[in-house]
Structure 1
């Protein structure tokens, strides 16, 4: 029983979590609950994971200082949205401002030291700082020094030395800063909330002869969903009846609807545009693609980026250092240099206020939350702050050829007949043999025969035999025919020089050539090529334009085919005739040579190379669980155009994080320098702190505007 309790895992969503410092304190309070073994708090996603056991009341008591509400993750019900102006703390802030204005009016009419003036400023302080003092004094009694403790000391100190007006200004500016920071974080989190609202919570299900409306949690695998025109799909599944265009923008980011027919896969959260569909459910609600996206986006925000780890470590030593400096400034000059106590205590309080590390602490998480949320809405899944930052530092990108730069479905491009009754006979014989083969080139020949209207009944093959790595043979119309590589026919000594010249000419164009014939003569050839994606050349150009130094194509094809396709696409380099383990070695050597290297592949056969690269980027994640699991970044649509956008977003995020850290520290340094001539006032100190926090948050929100 005790062991089960230790491993018990509960997940909750949080409402009212206002700041990074509050999150850290909330987490610390939960750890003190005896039945809790471990706790993980995801500030960006407002999500809490408890290992062990705790009641909602216990958790809400731990977050009472910040008014945090705790809701079980699977509990139905929307978060109550309270208008910015109706929140109690914001009403108090406005009241504080009103008494602050009255106080200054009183200064001009009655004088600064009049009892009515002091009383008006005191009311402004109490109204605006009630919650602040409640937490600050409690922390002070426990010798816990955070932003609220520092502010409480500073404001009480200001009142003691008679600086009532300054104390009131500091309280108002701090309350305003908290309100705006909370508003900005809500804005940044909206990208996740909008993802969570994409898929409907109920669906119309046919069971037997009945059609019933069910909650998605009650729908089971194999149920048939009835999807009417204009409705969103509630579950992932497979179309079993009907056809319609489906808008998949919510999942893949592609705006052009995709035609779905029986047998096609469809995703929860996508929109059925015109026809009626019947869909067989293939995944439970917690396993749908949209559920995985939401989970991974939330996990991504919880993972600390390198710059965030630096900031957290820095802040750990920075806050005590600021307190020590403030203390020394307040007591050393009066004690040893004959300074005025009131003046130097005031200066010490100003240092205390300006030293608050708010802007620094929030500089990284708010940028990462915003960037990852923006990317998810565009169909790009970035699985952590570390991957966001690393993508911004990339110099080299390697591409798997098949299915990434090319469509991955080979097509017959050339047919040449040397003997016999023409193309149809050649295709008929080839199709009869290739029907038994699993090779991708075989499917290209069969598709070509179908296009030409050649029936599989016209030609039948017997005594099929595969010739490993070279081709196959079978008896068709009482003749043993071979189909395979030029190497196969060369070994049988029946490859004329004229045919060999034809083969080489086609191979130079990047085509794979298969010969058809008997043991004595070649009767024809077929050239097959994987078609290059229309977007590939444009994407490679864009990547080079935005500063990627080198683009490399990795392929298992022969050198001639590889170089022909590379010329078409415009990549800087090509590595051909690679086995899967060779791709892995190539990525390792590229990392040694260039440092930061990305690998772009389909996430299935490229898994080792994707895992070894600095950043693994998987194509078409919406249909492939492997792609989502293996890659650091998944392009949910089968669309390379998302790649330059992802690199640009990552670079912008990296730049904004650096700007935020530099600005937060620079403004503190400037304010501390102003202490020397005595120019730094308390209200200037809080204005500098508040201004830095707001500028950092607003600067981060610019990431919402990065477009494709």
Structure 2
């Protein structure tokens, strides 16, 4: 692609793309192509001007320029990077509607003759009067009735300018509220989009791990227990139980057999199947996700809902105040002052904008929040629960050593272990696979169907013999494998700071793999700061052994911990905390954390975790930086503080206007003007950043 550099500063460049009349789709292609590069920090493409602003990592200027030169906006692989719905068209649509509304009003006041303006105002008022009457006929006294009375009273007094101003502001408020809602839904739908990079391609010879972007329509992919279905398709082999709650809202898993259709984003709870791909990456059931979100209450926080209901509850008092003022003063202007000021416009505009602003700002820190109520939960939470492996400890545990038994050598033991573990990648499994790769050990498919048992291990067959790998509990207690006194002595003397994976074949122990899982260097500092930010209890839950867990806790300021717990135990622990009146945040990354993530008031998944954990979580940290926990806590608390500030300002200022109007200090037109101005101020204030500046020091420390 040809381009011209318009401006440069440290690690930031602004270019102009040499493209005649850049379309929105082309702008999306350029933006997502650059965002896909690991050295690009952020990118924004402006289709109206054809410009792009790019922030990149230090020392990567040449790589960036080379990528720009190599970019072909018509390359199918590049186009495939663009999600099904980017939101660019949505924003353009509402921007143009708002500009048209403002432009029409200005032109009407400047050039439209007064009699025609009066006629237009009367015609436009019919909509609001009808809404008010409809509310009354349904036995309700709510904001639409107050709006209708205010507009009608102004028209009856011949004050058409005030009536027009009120309707303009109501229309602008409705448009901004609709825009806010649609953008929130769109952002949430994108946050729920799958982040699956690799899939198992099924061939005649064996299963091959490939990039999802290389999958074509008609290819066959293998989906196993606890895996997210990455692409829409039809089951051609096997039978599975699929959790479709993310798509249809169904709470119970649905059986899928040969010939049944499965959808991207749903999760296989049990079984294994081969799916023939019907739609490639980027063409999934986006519309169904949108519909599911719109039918939910995810977007609104409890405080936001209370503010909305309060606006409606104040309407009868406004009408009573209007009537009393007229009875006591017989002054129509003073009475109408009550009607010119209501609390609805500002509350209904500022509250969703504040929530949207918080979600947007979190996104700038690579944090995806799936709704306002989860941010409210983080702000209120007094208890935070951590998983250990991959969360408080290093995201990429490393292989330490392997001890073999019963005549097997290290190479063969690692070959079998890696062959089994690569099908269900988690932090410890990745360490095994990486060690095999580093040693140059080839581990092509050499086993039969693999079965994953959550929080326990994996079982399969190798050369006709039963092969299992997993925890001590799974191998020796559940599976009943043999363990001699000598083997027990060797195991007892293994370093306790390591986590252990046990592998047995035909009921006999073959190897113990020690995994070194170092504590993240920032974990201690983060836990200390979480205490300082109002968390009264920091807990750790782990399926690892008690000695390993105690070793971690001794180095961190953790209040409570439990070791050797199963997934259902984690969920039960959080349920008990909630029953005791605590608001709980759960932080995890693995398949075994998903029940706890679902049970918590807010579940937070970290970037390198299992796909199913990201699917279930309410908030996703998109990079390997636990300092983002502090950031999202700050954003959430600032959001709640702004909501409270907006509420007090709106109620206080508008009450003052009502008082001044009743006292005769302000005319109805002046009251409407000040009311409208305060509404615009509240809206603009709600869209400002919640945090004063980027937390660069945390980025560097992570």
Establish whether TM, by shorter chain, passes 0.5. Answer: yes
**Deviation for aligned residue 1:527:** 3.8
Please report how far the alpha carbon of residue 616 of structure 1 lies from its aligned counterpart in structure 2 after TM superposition.
2.2
Partner of 2:373, secondary structure, is helix
Find the partner of 2:533 among 514, 539, 546.
Answer: 546
Where does residue 133 of structure 1 map in the other structure?
A: 125
CA separation of 1:98 and 1:572: change in aligned 2, threshold 3 A: farther
Cα distance 1:645–1:432, how it changes in 2: closer, same or farther (>3 A)? closer
SS in 1 for 2:564: coil
2: CA distance, partners of 1:466 / 1:187? 52
Which residue of the partner structure matches residue 82 of structure 2?
Answer: none
How far apart are residue 492 of structure 1 and its match?
Answer: 4.5
CA-to-aligned-CA distance 1:294-336 (integer Å, 9 cap, x gap): 66765667654322332333233321221121012112x2xxx
- Counterpart secondary structure, 2:540: strand
Matched, 1:608 2:604: no
Give the aligned partner of residue 40 of structure 1. none
- Please state how far the C-alpha of 1:149 moved relative to its aligned partner: 1.2
So what's the TM-score if we normalise by structure 2?
0.57
Structure 1 match to 2:656? 670
C-alpha separation between the residues in 1 aligned to 2:183 and 2:408? 62
Which of 550, 574, 578 aligns to 1:587? It is: 574
| Superposition pairs of residues 159-178 of structure 1, within 5 angstroms | 159=158, 168=161, 171-172=164-165, 175=168, 178=171
Q: Deviations over 1:363-407 (max 9, x none)?
A: 423323333355457554433332232122112111122343345
Q: Please say if residues 98 and 172 of structure 2, whose CA atoms lie closer than 8 Å, have aligned partners that are also in contact.
A: no
CA deviations 1:451-489 (Å, max 9, x no partner) are 4457899xx99988879975999xxxxxxxxxx99x945
2:364 aligned with 1:368, yes or no?
A: no
Compute the displacement of 1:539 (Å): 4.5
**How far apart, in 2, do the equivalents of 1:594 and 1:588 lie?**
10
Partner of 1:49: none
Find the counterpart in structure 2 of residue 277 from structure 1.
Answer: none
Q: Is 1:347 the counterpart of 2:334 in the alignment?
A: yes
Residues 569 and 427 of structure 1, relative CA distance in 2, 3 Å threshold: farther
Unaligned runs of 5+ in 2: 1-84, 138-143, 194-214, 221-229, 234-263, 266-275, 445-461, 696-702
Question: What is the deviation of 1:599?
Answer: 1.3
* 3-state SS, counterpart of residue 515 of structure 2: strand
CA distance in 1, matches of 2:432, 2:105: 76
Q: For structure 1, which runs of at least 5 residues remain unmatched after alignment? A: 1-72, 100-118, 200-218, 225-234, 239-266, 269-279, 334-338, 474-483, 517-521
Q: Secondary structure at the match of 1:678?
A: coil
Task: Choose which of 298, 304, 308 in structure 2 pairs with 1:312.
Answer: 308
Q: Give the deviation of 1:700 after TM superposition.
A: 1.9
Partner of 1:87 in structure 2?
A: 100
Among candidates 617, 623, 640, match of residue 631 of structure 1? 617
1:506-545 residue pairs with structure 2 within 5 A?
Answer: 506-507=495-496, 509-512=497-500, 527-533=514-520, 536-537=523-524, 539-545=526-532
Aligned residue pairs: how many?
502
- 1:685 to 2:671 alignment: yes
Partner of 1:696: 682
Q: Distance in 2 between matches of 1:86 and 1:435?
A: 60
User: Is 2:548 the counterpart of 1:556?
Assistant: no
**Is 1:96 aligned to residue 109 of structure 2?**
yes
* Corresponding residue of 2:7: none
Query: Contact 1:380–1:642 (CA<8 Å) still a contact in 2?
Result: yes
The match for 1:385 is 372
- Whether the aligned pair in 2 keeps the contact of 1:391 and 1:647 (CA below 8 Å) is yes
Q: How far apart, CA to CA, are the structure 1 residues paired with 2:340 and 2:680?
A: 16
Q: Secondary structure at the match of 1:87?
A: helix
Paired with 1:196 and 1:467, the residues of 2 have a C-alpha distance of 37
Mapped partners of 1:182, 1:131: distance in 2: 19
Tell me, what secondary structure is at the counterpart of 2:400?
A: strand
Q: Cα–Cα, structure 1 residues 696 and 495, in superposed 2: closer, same or farther, change >3 Å?
A: same
Q: 1:286 to 1:377 in 2, by over 3 A?
A: farther
Give me the TM-score of the superposition, normalised by structure 1.
0.56
CA distance in 1, matches of 2:101, 2:363: 33
> 1:475-527: per-residue Cα shift (whole Å, max 9, x none)?
xxxxxxxxx99x945x359848xx96x54xx21x35549899xxxxx999864
Which residue does 1:652 correspond to in 2?
Answer: 638
Contact 2:502 2:512 in 1 (8 A): yes
- 1:697 Cα shift? 1.4
Give the whole-Å Cα distance in 2 for the aligned partners of 1:89 and 1:649: 32
Partner of 1:577, secondary structure, is: coil
| TM-align CA RMSD | 5.4
What are the residue-to-residue correspondences of 1:30-69 with 2, within 5 Å?
Answer: none
Larger Rg: 1
